[in-house]
Amino acid sequence: MILNTTEARFLTALAREQNQTGCQGPAHELLRLHAFPNVPRKGPGSLAFSYETVPLIGILLRETKDLQEIDDFLRGGELDTDPKWPWSSDEEFRARLEEARGEWREPNAPLADRNSGHIG
């Protein structure tokens, strides 16, 4: 699976918000608005939705070589104050999420099989 530029930028913003602001910020608001509109804003279950994207963020970070590099990327990078929602519909988001989950289930699948749903 290959992320397009808009997906990578959004997921970078999301991952950095998870690590720098406790899941608060514009990327999380976009995720809530587009994919999880019924999630409560406070209390039980209010943050759990953001961890649904871990497989996509894993694709973003798969080229990192060690924990320090991941930490530097997540904690040391700038927050994006104006991320864009990269998917045209909830269905497209869910399809890409499922594609990323598939790579987690079968990380050693041939590259041609893993890229079959490539967007952009």
Q: What are 12-31's pLDDT values in tens digits?
A: 999 999 888 888 899 999 99
Cα 54 to chain centroid distance, Å, stands at: 6
Would you say the C-alpha torsion 11, 54, 97, 107 has a positive or negative sign?
positive
Q: What is the pLDDT of residue 111?
A: 45
Task: Confirm if 17 and 27 have CB atoms less than 8 A apart.
Answer: yes
Question: Over the range 1-39, which residues count as b (16 or more CB within 10 Å of their CB) and which as e?
Answer: bebeeebebbbbbbbbbbbbeebebbbbebbbeebeeee
Q: What is the pLDDT of residue 19?
A: 87
Low-confidence ranges of the chain (pLDDT < 70): 106-120
Q: What is the pLDDT of residue 107?
A: 59
Q: What is the pLDDT of residue 112?
A: 43
Task: Confirm if 33 and 87 have CB atoms less than 8 A apart.
Answer: no
Within a 10 A sphere around the Cβ of 95, how many other Cβ atoms?
14
Within a 10 A sphere around the Cβ of 115, how many other Cβ atoms?
13
